[in-house]
């Protein structure tokens, strides 16, 4: 798929960096989830203690399926990634929210299509998916977890044990890939991080 | 191999289910004043349920449920456990498949390979732990989420689709 490039300079004052930032979309996302006493949320990793505690104290049940480690294991053992999706073997309409912290940057187009389709199936009607993505590959480009701090602030923690490929996509390409979702809110931060909040119909 | 260690004074001993007792281990009488824990060594395999009144560490392999509500349970880095756990607190460093219920804390270290559901008061998870499952902790009471962070976020961000017109609102995709 063609991925038209949008000049990063149009949107950000500085290049991509790992500066902390306060997430408007995380606030929106969490406030909606907190209104439900039965909310269930799925996080696809990387495993992060702070985020687990944060969500587990706010929703009925917080699920973790660390896909980063699974992809990393496949890469290390030169295994195809086809089978990696079997780990997302949850029932349809299971979740009110799905967290994708920088996950899509490490998937090719086919894998993203598969993932978006799966997430659409796993979400309940009106369920949401929060996605973060780097506008450019940060240099150096190790994988970091997005660590939730107070007041919807996100910081980064290096995940040295993970090594996955990185793919750039323009904003237009990303929103096109999320077209299964009728509502997509998006934000770009000064540190070059893009956030998307998708909602199922 | 069983190794005996320190045990709190209020511990009363150790009891296995009959099946387990017959197959592998003899109950070890312990004076009420002694302090100890039991370690199932890495060359030991157990199939059956365990009910215990002292701390237990599994370094070998274990298939069965573990019931020790007033004592701590751990899966050592070489341990492999498949079963349901009900203990005072739980530490997982090895392979574990099954649900964990505790009134205390669950610790998952970076060496862990854990699949299961957790119900606990608190949890710690090290980066790098292999984890698939769910966590249910005591929920915080519902909060009004008026955050002081909102204003600073708005100052440092802008909608992707409206780069030239910074606004406090997020941009909805047009379909």
One-character DSSP codes across B13-66: EEEE-HHHHHHT-------TT---EEEE-TT-EEES-EEEESEEEESSEEES-E
Task: Judge whether A95 lies within some domain.
Answer: yes
Pick the range with the lowest mean pLDDT from A1-5, A18-22, B2-6: A1-5
Q: In which domain, by residue range, is A138 found?
A: 23-191
Task: Judge whether A99 lies within some domain.
Answer: yes
Nearest-CA residue of chain A relative to B125?
A49
**How confident is the model over A183-199, as pLDDT tens digits?**
899 998 888 899 999 99
Chain B residues whose beta carbon lies within 8 Å of the beta carbon of residue A159: 127-128
The answer to whether the beta carbons of residues B79 and B62 sit under 8 Å apart is yes
Cβ contact, residue pair A61, B131, below 8 Å: no
pLDDT value at B160 more than 80: no
What is the total count of domains within chain A? Answer: 1
Q: B158 pLDDT band (50/70/90 cuts)?
A: low
Beta strands in B55-119 (DSSP E): 55-58, 61-63, 66-75, 80-82, 85-92, 95-97, 100-102, 105-108, 113-119
pLDDT at residue B91, rounded to an integer: 98
| Among candidates A56, A152, A185 on the partner chain, residue whose Cβ is nearest the Cβ of B135 | A56
Q: B147 pLDDT band (50/70/90 cuts)?
A: very low
**How confident is the model over A70-79, as pLDDT tens digits?**
999 999 998 8
Best mutation target among A52, A94, A155 (most B Cβ atoms within 10 Å) is A52
Cα first-last separation, chain A: 26
Task: Judge whether A17 lies within some domain.
Answer: no
The overall pTM is greater than 0.95: no
pLDDT at residue A141, rounded to an integer: 63
Across residues B90-106, what is the average pLDDT? 97
What are the b/e assignments for B151-172, b being 16+ CB within 10 Å? ebbbebbbbbbebeeeeeebbe
Nearest-CA residue of chain A relative to B167?
A187
Task: Judge whether A14 lies within some domain.
Answer: no
Task: Judge whether A8 lies within some domain.
Answer: no
Task: Judge whether A81 lies within some domain.
Answer: yes
Best mutation target among B116, B158, B173, B174 (most A Cβ atoms within 10 Å) is B173
Q: How far is A196 from chain B (nearest CA, A)?
A: 9
Distance (Å, rounded) from C-alpha B175 to C-alpha B168?
A: 22
Contacts of A130 (CB under 8 A, 6+ apart): A25, A26, A29, A97, A98, A99, A100, A195, A196, A197
The answer to whether the beta carbons of residues A194 and A174 sit under 8 Å apart is yes
Chain B residues whose beta carbon lies within 8 Å of the beta carbon of residue A34: 142-143, 145
pLDDT value at B149 more than 60: no
pLDDT at residue A135, rounded to an integer: 85
Contacts of B40 (CB under 8 A, 6+ apart): B2, B46, B56, B57, B58, B59, B60, B62, B79
> Phi and psi for A158 in degrees, rounded to 5?
-60, 135
pLDDT at residue A80, rounded to an integer: 84
Cβ contact, residue pair B149, A194, below 8 Å: no
Task: Judge whether A29 lies within some domain.
Answer: yes
CATH number of the domain to which A91 belongs: 3.40.50
Across residues A24-34, what is the average pLDDT? 96
pLDDT at residue B15, rounded to an integer: 42
> Strand A123-134 vs strand B66-75: parallel, antiparallel, or unpaired?
unpaired
Chain A residues whose beta carbon lies within 8 Å of the beta carbon of residue B107: none
Look at residues A62, A89, A189, A48 and name the one whose alpha carbon lies nearest to residue A132: A189
Q: B167 pLDDT band (50/70/90 cuts)?
A: very low
Task: Judge whether A154 lies within some domain.
Answer: yes
């Amino acid at each position: 798929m063609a991925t038209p490039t949008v000049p990063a300079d149009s949107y950000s004052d500085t290049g991509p960096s790992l500066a902390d930032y306060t997430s408007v979309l995380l606030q929106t996302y969490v406030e909606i989830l907190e209104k439900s006493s039965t909310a269930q949320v799925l996080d696809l990793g990387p495993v992060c203690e702070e985020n687990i505690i944060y969500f587990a104290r706010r929703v009925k049940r917080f699920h973790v399926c660390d896909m980063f480690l699974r992809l990393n294991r496949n890469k290390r053992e030169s295994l195809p990634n086809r089978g990696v999706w079997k780990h997302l073997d949850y029932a349809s309409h299971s979740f009110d929210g799905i967290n994708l912290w920088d996950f899509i940057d490490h998937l090719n187009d086919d894998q993203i299509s598969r993932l978006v389709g799966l997430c659409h199936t796993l979400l309940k009607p009106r369920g949401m998916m929060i996605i973060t993505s780097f506008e450019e590959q940060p240099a150096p480009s190790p994988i970091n977890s997005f660590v939730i701090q107070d007041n919807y602030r996100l910081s980064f923690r290096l995940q040295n044990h993970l090594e996955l490929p990185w793919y750039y996509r323009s904003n237009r390409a990303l929103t096109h890939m999320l077209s299964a979702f009728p509502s997509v809110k998006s934000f770009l931060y000064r540190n070059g991080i893009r956030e998307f909040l998708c909602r199922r119909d | 191999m069983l190794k005996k260690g320190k045990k709190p004074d209020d511990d009363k001993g150790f009891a296995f289910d009959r099946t387990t007792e017959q197959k592998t281990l003899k109950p070890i009488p312990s004076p009420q004043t002694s302090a100890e824990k039991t370690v199932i060594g890495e060359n030991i395999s157990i199939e059956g349920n365990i009910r215990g009144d002292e701390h237990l560490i599994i370094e070998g392999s274990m298939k069965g449920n573990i019931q020790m509500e007033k004592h701590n349970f751990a899966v050592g880095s070489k341990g492999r456990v498949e079963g349901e756990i009900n203990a005072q607190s739980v530490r997982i460093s090895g392979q574990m498949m099954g649900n964990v219920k505790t009134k205390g804390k669950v610790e998952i270290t970076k060496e862990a390979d854990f699949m299961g559901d957790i119900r606990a008061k608190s949890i710690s998870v090290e980066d790098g732990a292999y984890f698939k499952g769910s966590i249910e902790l005591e929920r915080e009471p519902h909060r009004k989420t008026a955050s002081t962070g909102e204003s600073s976020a708005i100052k440092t961000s802008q909608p992707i689709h409206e780069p030239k017109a910074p606004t406090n609102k997020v941009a909805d995709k047009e379909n």
